[in-house]
Amino acid sequence: MSDSAFHYVDGVLHAEGVSAASLAEQFGTPLYVYSRDALTQAYRAYADACAGRNATVHVAVKANSNLAVLNVFARMGAGFDIVSSGELARVIAAGGRAEHTVFSGVGKSAAEMREGLEAGVKCFNVESIPELHALNEVAKSLGKKAPVSLRVNPDVDAKTHPYISTGLKSNKFGVAFSDARATYAQAQAMDHLDVVGIDCHIGSQITEISPYLDALDKLLELVGQIEADGMRIRHIDVGGGLGITYDDETPPAIGDFVTTLLDHIGKRGHGAREVYFEPGRSLVGNAGVLLTRVEYLKPGEEKNFAIVDAAMNDLARPAMYEAFHRIVPVVKRDAAAQTYDVVGPVCESGDWLGRDRELALVPGDLLAICSAGAYGFVMSSNYNTRPRAAEIMVDGERARLVREREEVKQLFAGESILPD
């Protein structure tokens, strides 16, 4: 949670200049609330560190794909990083430009490749030899040459959760480092591919710079070998993955992170190449909270439960990763706290949002689940036929509905029963 964007005024949590209690009253709960100022400040930290350097910022759409969120970044001149043609459609609808968009992803279909080529995306990050062949054939059918970089797996431990570690040789992502040089040679031999760069992404929620530097050293060594084989590598894509503070993590400041990587690349003699950054979580994670209301307080023999109206379908990270999110009261109570597990109404024991939290509560109280701007709504589902939450963007003292709450009838509008 961004302390500047989300703060208490007279004991009431505010999003910028708006009371979170008033938002819950007006728009209902569960409710995702984003701060435009927090989004802006995070992006500017990247952009300012890249200013005057041969570096560009491509926002990872998968972290938060709400059109209003993407539009905030598009207005500031951001590029984008996508992993599906659906995300490409979102970028364009939000005011982004295909020619500033990098198409990543391990399993692009031929149809998605076609859509990317027809739109004119900046580059395809390719992850296997079969994908190279497929892209070459699609480009041939369109009479085009597809700009490509290879995502190389450097076998570097990002020291993060195994589900979001992507740079080890046991992960599904990228071309094995030992195969990369030969794979580049194959790409160069294909008539409808234009080899333009090299890509690396080692994981997510990384709170140290050293894994990035280790991966870069391997990548830059490989660049020299590739160019010795007659290819020109114009850009180096360092991916994203910079972590945020959920609890007591101490990730480097965005500006320090960007400057350290750019300086490292320059010292190794590669400063003339364009560098792509693909941040996601570090842009949007602490720019959002999830508001939820306490339905029941249920004491137990071993645990006390605060049962709220948000659930694992609204915020999957705790159930999926055992992820920690701070949970704070919207209105502070001057009362003794008790220890609660904060859980939802979904019919799963894995439906929990926080364990062993010290909270002073009565039924009807509002809670804010912090740092929910990344991988929150985008990973939500309709499990138990639960409509997905509404989303709000706060801008100063104004709050705008940027996604309507779903209604139950929408969830089965496309279904049909069997005829008699």
Active site (catalytic) residues: 347
Q: How far is the C-alpha of 86 from the C-alpha of 108, rounded, in Å?
A: 11
Q: How far apart are CA 272 and CA 266, in angstroms?
A: 8
Q: Please state, in angstroms and as integers, the Cα–Cα distance from residue 243 to each residue in 105, 219, 301, 412, following that order.
A: 21, 22, 37, 38
Q: Give the C-alpha separation, 348 to 40, whole Å.
A: 37
Q: What's the first-to-final CA gap in the chain, in angstroms? A: 54
Give the span between the Cα atoms of 47 and 39, in whole angstroms. 12
Number of H helices, E strands in the chain: 12, 21
- The CA distance from 357 to 77, in Å, is 41
Environment class of 343 (CB within 10 Å of its CB; exposed 0-12, middle 13-18, buried 19+):
buried
As a whole number of angstroms, the distance between CA 276 and CA 74 comes to 16
| Number of CB atoms found within 10 A of residue 334's CB | 6
Angle at which helices 85-93 and 110-119 pack, to 10 degrees? 30
Q: Which residues pair with 7 in a beta bridge?
A: 14
Distance CA 131, CA 148 (A): 11
Asked, as a colleague might, if the bond just before 30 is cis with ω within 30 of 0, I would say yes
State the sign of the Cα–Cα–Cα–Cα dihedral 195, 197, 202, 203.
negative
- Type of residue at 291: L
